[in-house]
Chain A
Amino acid sequence: MYDVIIIGSGPAGLTAAIYTTRADLKTLVIAGGKWGGQLMLTTLVENFPGFPDGIQGPELMQNMKKQAERFGAEFLDEDFVSADFSLRPFKLTVSDKTFEARSIIIATGADTKWLEVPGEKEKIGRGVSSCAPCDAFFFKNKNVIVVGGGDSAMEEALVLTKFATSVTLVHRKDSFRASDIMQKRVLGNPKIKILFNSEVIEVLGDMSVTGVKIKNNQTNQISEMLIDGVFVAIGHFPNTGKFKDIELDENGFIKVHDHFLTNKEGVFVAGDVHDAHYKQAITAAGYGCSAALEAEKWLESSN
């Protein structure tokens, strides 16, 4: 029996684990087959305080994991399957094992949102990607597009310029929502072209990507663009699919009640799985800390 089981191992889950273990609560982190969350798919993180020269996303996560392990957090690198929050202690199933916990922190974060257009799904890993730092290497001297208008789209485009001949940013609106500093870097890069008011409506090619069909949403004109890679950075969706009796908001994020509590007493929430607004590593870490402190307080009071 654990005092706390944390589901998820991004900045929210690992920060929560640092706090619960330091409060001497027996803690299990269900880290998932791919632990570490979204930062594992990034390169240099420049806005996490404490690292004046930036830090590589995966290195930051390694450090957080080490820090949690130092205080005794246990890790399970397997995917969470289901949970029963109707009875206490709560029961969680991971692969074929069942674990019991007095309290739960849900920190399952968010996953890549794909374009959901014809020709995309079957070519993920064959020219369609959501991770430029992982896959840019395979697009040496090739032409690629990046779909999206936020900071991640800017970062993907900049990473790709190191390998690709040309990078075109395709965005459905007429301006980017990315931070000024990232926009400036993109605009100042001669390899990057920008296509506003444009939507990818089909990914072309059989075994690999050979092009895309793009619709201009002002003129409704459809054109074909010959490219070798499509990098998708249009946002994320919260990983809530496996939670049966947890209340969600109208956009599918976990609904937060007073102080990081879900609708189930003893089940807390932290990070991108409830936060549709800030979605930063540092806010997720902050939420993880808050949820851990609330869980600790609740465990004390329910003793």
Chain B
Amino acid sequence: MADLTFTDQNFKDEVLGSETPVLVDFWAEWCAPCRIVSPIIEELANEYGGKLKVGKLDVDSNSQAAQDYGVMSIPSIILFKNGNPIKTMIGAQSKDNYKREIDSILGL
């Protein structure tokens, strides 16, 4: 599954209402460390396929979702399950770190 684009408008349906767990990558064009994380997120989207919904949210144009979840530093990755934020990972991290948290949420 390729990565999706989340917005303030589709957040409720796509993220909070999702049956599968969701990874949201809060990012922006001007954020250099976000550019390090982006390709990793795309790889994760491919590797986890249908088990995990993966998408990006541009904080520049979608400030509501960022504000709702207290995002004050990007990149921030938040994992959602059944509409609840389960895990927040702030700052660029290694792929292994992301996988560890995803695996624990998916019960792998």
Contacts and interface: CB of A to CB of B under 8 A. Distances in A.
A95 B97 CA distance: 11
Interface stretch (A28-36, A147-155, A213-221, A283-291): A28-36
B73 A125 contact: yes
Contacts of B108: none
B69 to A, nearest CB: 11
A169 interface: no
A246 interface: no
Contacts of A124: 73, 90
A33 B90 contact: no
A78 B94 contact: yes
Interface in A42-85: 56-58, 77-79
Interface residues on B, range: 20 to 34
Given A134-B73, A137-B59, A138-B73, A41 B32 contact: yes
B95 interface: yes
Interface string B71-108: 11110100000000000001111111100000000000
Nearest to B35: A58
A300 B59 CA distance: 53
A40 B32 contact: yes
B5 to A, nearest CB: 19
Contacts of B74: 134-135
A14 B93 CA distance: 20
Of listed B33, B73, B90, B92, residue having the most chain A CB within 10 A: B73
Given A34-B93, A78-B94, A125-B76, A134 B32 contact: yes
A229 B73 CA distance: 11
A149 B91 CA distance: 25
A122 to B, nearest CB: 11
A37 to B, nearest CB: 12
Interface string A121-143: 00011110101011101100000
B4 interface: no
Interface string B12-47: 000000000000000010111101100000000000
Given A33-B97, A40-B32, A40-B33, A208 B70 contact: yes
Contacts, number: 71
Interface string A204-215: 000110000000
Nearest to B37: A34
Contacts of B28: 137
A34 B70 contact: no
Of listed A77, A131, A137, residue having the most chain B CB within 10 A: A137
26 contacts: A33-B93, A33-B94, A33-B97, A34-B33, A34-B92, A35-B36, A40-B32, A41-B33, A58-B32, A78-B94, A78-B95, A78-B96, A124-B73, A124-B90, A125-B76, A125-B91, A126-B72, A129-B72, A129-B73, A133-B31, A134-B31, A134-B32, A134-B33, A137-B28, A137-B30, A137-B59
Interface of A: 32-36, 40-41, 56-58, 77-79, 95, 124-127, 129, 131, 133-135, 137-138, 207-208, 229
Top 8 closest pairs, chain A to chain B, by CB: A33-B94, A125-B90, A58-B32, A125-B73, A138-B72, A34-B92, A135-B73, A40-B32
Given A77-B94, A133-B30, A134-B33, 10 more contacts: A34-B36, A34-B93, A34-B94, A79-B94, A125-B72, A125-B76, A129-B73, A134-B32, A137-B30, A208-B70
